[in-house]
Structure 1
Amino acid sequence: MMAKSGLHVLSSESVQIPWFDSIFADIGDEQSLSQSLSTFSGHLKNVMDIRSQSTNQSLVLLDEVGAGTNPLEGAALGMSLLESFADSGALLTIATTHYGELKSLKYSNNAFENACMEFDEVNLNPTYKIIWGVPGRSNAINISEKLGLPSTVVSHAREFYGADSAEINEVICAMEKFKQMFQESLYQTQHHLLFSRNLYEKLLLARRKVMEHGTVQRYRKMKEIAEAAAMARSALHKKVLQLRTYKTQSSRPTRANEKPLLNSESKQSTEKTSPHLTASRNSSGIDIGKPSVSVLKKDKLPEVGDRVHVSTLRREATVLRVDPAKEEIVVQAGNMKLKLKFTDINA
């Protein structure tokens, strides 16, 4: 009824609320002097009306089913009525009873379940907490004693009640305590399980963030390395082009008595095709604009380790290797190793 009214239902997670087409109730004392109805007759009339109108989608509430008559007959009639409602008379039937026979239905029919109201043994008051799986027990004698019934009457009542009945009540009481302990342990376990689940989800989230951060950092490092490699390749390519230009220019022989003459038109063409020759110095600060004439003599070749003057670079270099047959020489000029012709150096 709370759910159908739009109210929040006090329950644990993942609860399914059944949908009832009708709700029927037999609660209270329906005895009537005008209609010559006793308590039993009044209850029975209501139960008959409910049985004729209820469907397999109905909710039926019965208070003290089978009460108001001989306990044995009332219990037998109550058991039969409850089994009838369980078979096809209602989707859910909730009944209260003080009959032990009705409490035993659970152990012979799986359609039934016991439940009781928790009772405070110290204050002799109900706590209004439902304990599932445990049949309720009567506290009439204890409540009567609390209400001030003479002790002699209470003592005689306990004697009349009998030891067997007292033992049954003790067993039920032990079951209630065990059920309470189980419920408390179950609640603590569920609480710890929920806490562990939340902690596990937080750890998964942190792990995912760490992995994402690591992926981003690796991508950034790879990008930086790729950019640095691209810049290095570009710089190396430029150096190779410069060295090839130097080698091409230095391998052209120049006669000592011939002066290079360039008119304005040929000079512009040279500047367009060879920009490295128009600059006075390259990126290393080397003057490469005006190659000089070699005066190296074949009968006086330098040896490894000698210092020679490279006319195309206009600087000193150290001899690393000499090849008289090919008229080539390998020198070290700073960080550069150059293979030159004899005509490119001065002794």
Structure 2
Amino acid sequence: MNDRIYHVLEYKKIIEQLAEQASSSLGKEQAKKLKPSTDVDEVRKWQKDTDEAAHIFRLKGHVPLGGVSDIRPNIKRASVGGMLQPEECMDVASTIYGGKQMKKFIEEIEDVEIPIMLELVEQIVPLSDLERTIKNRIDENGKVMDGASEKLRTLRSRIRTFEGRVRDKLEGWTKSKSKMLSDAIITIRNDRYVLPVKQEYRGNFGGIVHDQSASGATLFMEPQAIVELNNSLQEAKVQEKHEVERILIELSERIAADEGFLYQNVEVLAQLDFMFAKARLGKDMRGAMPGINDQGIIKMRQARHPLIEEDEVVPNDVDLGEDFSSIVITGPNTGGKTVTLKMVGLCSLMAQSGLQIPAQDGCEMTVFDNIFADIGDEQSIEQSLSTFSSHMTNIVDILSKVDHKSLVLFDELGAGTDPQEGAALAMSILDDVVSRGARVIATTHYPELKAYGYNREGVINASVEFDIQTLKPTYRLLIGVPGRSNAFEISRRLGLRENVIEKAQEHMGTDSKSVENMIASLEESKRGAEKDYEEAENLLQEAQDMHRELEQKWADFEAKREELYKKAEEKAQKAIEKARHEAEEIVSEMRQMKNQADMKEHEWIEARKMLDEAQPELAKKQVKQDKQPKAKQTQPELQVGDEVKVLSLDRTGHIAEKVSDKEFQVQLGIMKMKVKAKDLEFIKREEPLKEKPMATVKGSSHHVKPELDLRGERYDEALRRLEKYLDDALLAGYPKVSIIHGKGTGALRNAVEQYAKKHRSIKSSRSGGMNEGGGGVTVLELG
């Protein structure tokens, strides 16, 4: 990819934003060098890097990258024998410390899988001895400490002694000879202590003149009496300087000895800072990690242009490369066609750079070898080229390079020349690019291209919606519907006389009118189809949930029945064994009785009774109460709101709507269904004005429902809402609440379950039952 495409799609602005997110110059340098990759495996690796960093941000909220700086110039100078200054040595120690902190921070994370991060921090070498050596010799202000060596401690003690003696002597003169001084102060000239003596009194002091004032009235003199003291002081300072240099050279040699490890640490910290910068940028854009494929497939859900404020841009869905490889967008100016074009191109560059894209989770992006764009007026005054010539020069260059691994973006294809010739040329250019297997998105004004998608395989029309009522574009992309002219409708809304509009319509050809009518019909049909599809999807989801729950219920019933059968058999077996044992005892006694001639009648009766009682007491099958015939009871006339039982399903619900005298719409959990009146049994009717109010948080007028609907929310926003809702529910005293997250990818369900495990006020969590929403709901027990 060339630099021109980065300029046209404003990729460099994204890089500038990325560099601002870096915490150190190391990360900024990495960000500024970032370019999209054309290797699929490398792009996937980059995306995983960013995703791991984003997970850590969501979990921890921060990263300890403070104190890290680019110490590579310091390391290089030390390695060639140079002496580092105290501040440079401290930068090395601070970076070593920053690396240790980062290593510890990453290794202590247990709640997420971060193999890439762990592998990186394994390469950080602590170098604690070098850090300790530097910090024991240089303080936080970048000054070599007295304790850096015994000799330095002695020299600085001597310096302080000499300075004290010099100042004492000079202060005595400032008091006793203040009239001879321009000012009663001690000052320094040429690194020696002096007094500001008036010109006329220089003979009273003797000694050395080091400087004089601009007027010559004041001489800065070192009195003869302190020359020797000043000499001793200067000698001690020279010795101190040599000792400090010796210490710094020793530290520089230590740093040079660990040159390899230091370079390695810097490279790892630069990579970590860069990864977290990408994650911060993704968070600011509310971005998501796209799946990466090499089949030329793009699936973007609620995608936004990353350089337009979120409250000013309309999210759109874009599909390309699966059912069709080319999109031709028609519609009015300022309708958002060019923004859509640039959004797809820029998001492709970002995805191939390992950056998250501003869209919902579940997006798919592909890896292109080249992205070409012909966008905007690029005519060259120097070359005396017209708009058409400028565009055509660019298109000729594109056609010479495009292949099946290319994305081509054409803005106002064929514009700037005769409409008929321009339209014909545009169709020919599109045919050529499409035939090479490239992915193409083109915008145009030409009405001839409105039917282009119907005549070409792999090509689909699209348009940007326009609201006739407000006379403004909605910026909503409509795939499958070509744009239509709104000139007559707009003119009518703006007050143009009807007879003028009618005459204009007469000038239009029959074919043009038919096309416009066809487009209008398609738009209406598409809107209706989208609504029906959404309702069908909801019903299908509910039916699938109910089917799964019924299957589970049936399996539970079968298991329970088998268990009961087994228990009954065991009980019967025990009863038979008991009876057999008692029968044997009775028979034995009867044999004994038989040998006794004087056996009484009542003894025989008692023996017979014992034998009868020894029969096994097997439970008789009970007829269910509800299966017994009973008198038919009359029930009141059913009304909306009544609690009823659906006999065929053996489930209870509420009447939501009366369809007719013989049919009602019944709310069963999350599902509504039409039921015949004869299949309903009245249970009860709530008294009016006695409904139990929703729980209210103490000290607030805010009502808290026993359920929270998170469907459609992004990950971060969902967790924020969940946290606030649980606080309110606990204050309201709910024993349990339901969190509705839907099926989807399972990301929200997993997030709710993970959050529930860590919340100290949540006793347990489970999936909802058949009447509670099934797998699309998590029920939390509070306490």
- Per-residue CA deviation, residues 162-197 of structure 1 (Å, 9 max, x unaligned), is 734376555444334322322222222222212212
Residue among 445, 452, 469 paired with 1:105: 452
Contact 1:98 1:138 in 2 (8 A): no
SS of residue in 2 equivalent to 1:163: helix
Tell me the percent identity: 32
- Per-residue CA deviation, residues 277-300 of structure 1 (Å, 9 max, x unaligned), is xxxxxxxxxxxxxxxx645xxxxx
Q: Does 1:190 align with 2:533?
A: yes
Distance, in Å, in 2 between the alignment partners of 1:134 and 1:23 is 26
Structure 1 or 2, whichever has the larger Rg, is: 1
Distance, in Å, in 2 between the alignment partners of 1:202 and 1:170 is 48
Contact 2:407 2:439 in 1 (8 A): yes
CA pair 81-124 structure 1, distance change in 2 beyond 3 A: same
Moved more, 132-141 or 202-211: 132-141
Distance, in Å, in 1 between the alignment partners of 2:489 and 2:603 is 119
Structure 1 residue 131: Cα displacement: 2.8
Q: Please show how residues 129-208 of structure 1 align to structure 2 within 5 Å.
A: 129-139=476-486, 163-165=506-508, 170-208=513-551
Contact 2:377 2:387 in 1 (8 A): yes
Q: Does 1:230 align with 2:573?
A: yes
SS of residue in 1 equivalent to 2:372: strand
The AA in structure 1 aligned to 2:609 is N
Q: Please show how residues 1-347 of structure 1 align to structure 2 within 5 Å.
A: 1=344, 2=347, 4=351, 5-7=355-357, 9=359, 17-88=365-436, 90-139=437-486, 163-165=506-508, 170-250=513-593, 294=597, 309=600, 316-317=602-603, 333=607, 335-336=609-610
- Per-residue CA deviation, residues 189-223 of structure 1 (Å, 9 max, x unaligned), is 22221221222123223322432342243233223
- Per-residue CA deviation, residues 116-167 of structure 1 (Å, 9 max, x unaligned), is 222222332212122334433445687789999xx79xx99997x6734376
Distance, in Å, in 1 between the alignment partners of 2:555 and 2:488 is 70
Greater relative contact order structure (CA < 8 Å, 6+ sep): 2
Distance, in Å, in 1 between the alignment partners of 2:484 and 2:545 is 47
With structure 2 as the length reference, what TM-score do the two structures score?
0.30
Contact 1:141 1:158 in 2 (8 A): no
The residue that corresponds to 1:280 in the other structure is none
Structure 1 residue 112: Cα displacement: 3.0
Structure 1 residue 245: Cα displacement: 2.6
Distance, in Å, in 1 between the alignment partners of 2:356 and 2:564 is 57
SS of residue in 2 equivalent to 1:67: coil
SS of residue in 2 equivalent to 1:96: strand
CA pair 143-33 structure 1, distance change in 2 beyond 3 A: farther
CA pair 239-186 structure 1, distance change in 2 beyond 3 A: same
Distance, in Å, in 1 between the alignment partners of 2:433 and 2:476 is 26
Structure 1 residue 317: Cα displacement: 3.9
CA pair 145-40 structure 1, distance change in 2 beyond 3 A: farther
Moved more, 114-123 or 16-25: 16-25
The AA in structure 1 aligned to 2:449 is L
SS of residue in 1 equivalent to 2:396: helix
Contact 1:119 1:127 in 2 (8 A): yes
Distance, in Å, in 2 between the alignment partners of 1:66 and 1:211 is 65
Contact 1:135 1:172 in 2 (8 A): no
CA pair 37-226 structure 1, distance change in 2 beyond 3 A: same
Question: May I ask how many residue pairs the two structures share in their alignment?
Answer: 262
CA pair 169-134 structure 1, distance change in 2 beyond 3 A: farther
Distance, in Å, in 2 between the alignment partners of 1:126 and 1:166 is 27
The AA in structure 2 aligned to 1:91 is A
Distance, in Å, in 2 between the alignment partners of 1:35 and 1:337 is 123
The AA in structure 2 aligned to 1:98 is H
With structure 1 as the length reference, what TM-score do the two structures score?
0.62
Distance, in Å, in 2 between the alignment partners of 1:54 and 1:118 is 31
Query: What stretches of structure 1 of length at least 5 have no aligned partner?
Result: 253-292, 296-307, 311-315, 319-330, 339-347
The residue that corresponds to 1:287 in the other structure is none
SS of residue in 1 equivalent to 2:459: coil
Distance, in Å, in 1 between the alignment partners of 2:549 and 2:489 is 58
Distance, in Å, in 1 between the alignment partners of 2:402 and 2:556 is 63
SS of residue in 2 equivalent to 1:110: coil
The AA in structure 2 aligned to 1:136 is G
Structure 1 residue 36: Cα displacement: 1.0
Distance, in Å, in 1 between the alignment partners of 2:538 and 2:500 is 54
Contact 1:62 1:95 in 2 (8 A): yes
Distance, in Å, in 1 between the alignment partners of 2:481 and 2:554 is 52
Distance, in Å, in 1 between the alignment partners of 2:597 and 2:451 is 125
SS of residue in 2 equivalent to 1:25: strand
Structure 1 residue 26: Cα displacement: 0.6
Distance, in Å, in 2 between the alignment partners of 1:173 and 1:27 is 28
Contact 1:134 1:175 in 2 (8 A): no
Contact 1:26 1:46 in 2 (8 A): yes
Structure 1 residue 228: Cα displacement: 2.1
Distance, in Å, in 2 between the alignment partners of 1:110 and 1:164 is 33
Distance, in Å, in 1 between the alignment partners of 2:543 and 2:493 is 52
CA pair 43-146 structure 1, distance change in 2 beyond 3 A: farther
CA pair 113-219 structure 1, distance change in 2 beyond 3 A: closer
Distance, in Å, in 2 between the alignment partners of 1:181 and 1:146 is 20
